[in-house]
Structure 1
Amino acid sequence: MKHVRAATPRHLRLPPFTDALPAPVFFRMERMPSNATYPSMTHRWGEFVYSFSGVTEVTAGEQHVLAPPHLGLWIPAGTEHIGFNDEEAVHCSIYIRRNLCTHMPKQLCAVIVSPLVRAILEHLRDHSPGAEEAPVRARLLRALVDQLSTCATTGSYVPHTADAELDAVLSALKSNPSDSRSLGELAKAFHMSERTLMRRCERELGMSLTEWRQRLRLVNALPLLRAGRSVESIAVELGYATSSSFIAMFRRLIGTSPRRFVTQAPPHPKEKAPARVRSSRR
């Protein structure tokens, strides 16, 4: 099923380059306001997108990939795509010339960012080099490409489905993330057996409904945390009986606590003007 966006006004953002890159590998930071979108585009270079805060989404044809801050997005050269975000996001893009993309994935996907890649991205974000440091930065960017090519990849963090009956279940949960009905209760409500619903989730989503629902709640929690909401109020809003159960879910999926996640996220970027799981290594 093709992912359809809600008909709400969006901030249109134009791509920074159209014909050529200023360097073989180029790093760029951007702060995207809520409801921002890039128009449909195709470029001759690969692009890796990593969100330091907020959730980034890309659609390419029938494929839709969503990535929260602990994942990146890879867009191969020649892929027609649309990028957007519903909530404010601070992200970077790594533009890579086609001849350097040999070992990168051949299709749009989410990238499971390693600690080393994350550290390099944070260094690039926080350090704007002078002219004398440009060669060092260029070598670091080439090393980053090598590291990206070894990262594992996956599909969308919160997958969609073309199965109409399963989509009805997922749509109900999306419209009310606090819905805490069990697998059996949902199956009964949507006129299928518990076993059928379980099998469809594994086949269509590549994960259990419990895992999918936790990821959905995580994605809904991120903008609330960034807005300054308390962990306790977010836990209640998303259907958790206690804040500790929400924190446990957050730690398992993100690898850190909600409070630490918020303090680590940058409020603004330093703008720089132009001058199932597998390994992507082939």
Structure 2
Amino acid sequence: MGMLDHRESVPRPVVAVSEEYPSAYRIAEHRHRRSQFLYATSGVMAVTTPNGSWVAPPERAIWIPSETPHSVRMVGDVRTQSVLLHPDVTARVGRDCEVVGVSPLLRELLVAASAVPEQYDEQGRDGMVMKLLVAEVASAPVVRLAVPFPRHPKLAERCHSFLDRPVASTTIGQWADQLAMNRRSFTRLFRRETGMSFAEWRQQACIAAALPRLAEGQPITMIALDLGYESPNNFTTMFKRVVGVSPSRYMMSSKAGAGDREAVLPGAPTKRLR
């Protein structure tokens, strides 16, 4: 991460970072003084922080606020085109990571930024590219592909364990019994700690586990059964509702070139970064 440390000190508000990583590569937990907009032109990335886990499929990026401790796991060979932004120039407010959609314009701006010199002319053409890039990052739609972790110690331990091996059929009653709580108290605690209902969180955990496996080309039936779905059809229905495309079309998008992905992975944005 020495290169990133060097680029964080460049006297410009936006700095582009282009990297290549082999399959299964892991970047240990670290943090940046600047916020990071992390985008992969190929492969899939999984980012984990103390507060949750985020997976970026094709045409998605991960917004990482400044000073957020995070680790990154690569699925497949990954090529990133990301930017580090000084907090003073970002319009993003909040402390949490986000998965966001990447429009064709934003994708091209990220590629163009990788060719911009570190100490570019802020008043010239390169400076205009970076200003437009900042504006596009600010308006990128947020996609609900996140698994927030609670701060409650016992509940957090249970959530981390579940994320390691999600089972879609697990119930509120099972979790409440394991934590020696009644159903109503557990439900209230879970929503207060994660901002989601138990069913929503369980579904997001299954999606987070499925996306990297689909990107690797594993059979859909095997993934569905491993996750505890009664049939591949049940899994496909859930996946399409949440991600916006079927698992098979998602696998196609993972293999497609960057120029082809927009047509096969429309996604389901929920809000915009402000």
Same fold (TM over 0.5): yes
Matched, 1:222 2:207: no
AA paired with 2:176?
Answer: A
Instruction: Answer yes or no: is the 8 Å Cα contact 2:39–2:60 preserved in 1.
Output: yes
What is the CA–CA distance in structure 1 between the aligned matches of 2:16 and 2:191, rounded to whole Å?
Answer: 39
Corresponding residue number in structure 2 for 1:142: 131
Over aligned residue pairs, what C-alpha RMSD do you find?
Answer: 3.7
Identity between Structure 1 and Structure 2 (%):
22
What is the CA–CA distance in structure 1 between the aligned matches of 2:112 and 2:69, rounded to whole Å?
Answer: 30
Deviation at 1:141, TM superposition (A): 4.3
Q: Secondary structure at the match of 2:146?
A: coil
Matched, 1:40 2:30: yes
AA paired with 1:68?
Answer: A
AA paired with 1:75?
Answer: I
Matched, 1:261 2:250: yes
What is the CA–CA distance in structure 1 between the aligned matches of 2:222 and 2:82, rounded to whole Å?
Answer: 33
Matched, 1:118 2:108: no
TM-superposition CA deviations, 1:86-117 (whole Å, max 9, x none)? 6446343122345532x23253421533xxx4
Deviation at 1:63, TM superposition (A): 4.4
Corresponding residue number in structure 2 for 1:160: 149
Corresponding residue number in structure 2 for 1:96: 85
AA paired with 1:226?
Answer: A
Greater alpha carbon shift after TM alignment, 213-222 vs 182-191: 182-191
Deviation at 1:198, TM superposition (A): 1.2
Matched, 1:68 2:91: no
Query: Do the aligned partners of residues 151 and 127 (structure 1) sit closer, same or farther apart at CA in structure 2, a change above 3 Å counting?
Result: closer
What is the CA–CA distance in structure 2 between the aligned matches of 1:58 and 1:181, rounded to whole Å?
Answer: 23
Instruction: Answer yes or no: is the 8 Å Cα contact 1:160–1:167 preserved in 2.
Output: yes
What is the CA–CA distance in structure 2 between the aligned matches of 1:239 and 1:64, rounded to whole Å?
Answer: 22
Corresponding residue number in structure 1 for 2:234: 245
Q: Secondary structure at the match of 2:3?
A: coil
Equivalent of residue 85 in structure 1, options 58, 73, 98: 73
TM-superposition CA deviations, 1:56-79 (whole Å, max 9, x none)? 3153xx5455343375333345x2
TM-superposition CA deviations, 1:252-280 (whole Å, max 9, x none)? 221111122122225899xxxxxxx8754
Pairs aligned (count)? 252
What is the CA–CA distance in structure 2 between the aligned matches of 1:67 and 1:119, rounded to whole Å?
Answer: 20
Q: Secondary structure at the match of 1:15?
A: helix
What is the CA–CA distance in structure 1 between the aligned matches of 2:161 and 2:28, rounded to whole Å?
Answer: 28
Instruction: Answer yes or no: is the 8 Å Cα contact 2:81–2:114 preserved in 1.
Output: no
Where in structure 1 are there 5+ consecutive unaligned residues? 1-12, 270-276
Query: Do the aligned partners of residues 210 and 32 (structure 1) sit closer, same or farther apart at CA in structure 2, a change above 3 Å counting?
Result: farther
What is the CA–CA distance in structure 2 between the aligned matches of 1:163 and 1:27, rounded to whole Å?
Answer: 36
Query: Do the aligned partners of residues 266 and 68 (structure 1) sit closer, same or farther apart at CA in structure 2, a change above 3 Å counting?
Result: same
Where in structure 2 are there 5+ consecutive unaligned residues? 117-123, 259-269
What is the CA–CA distance in structure 2 between the aligned matches of 1:175 and 1:65, rounded to whole Å?
Answer: 11
Greater percentage in helix? 2
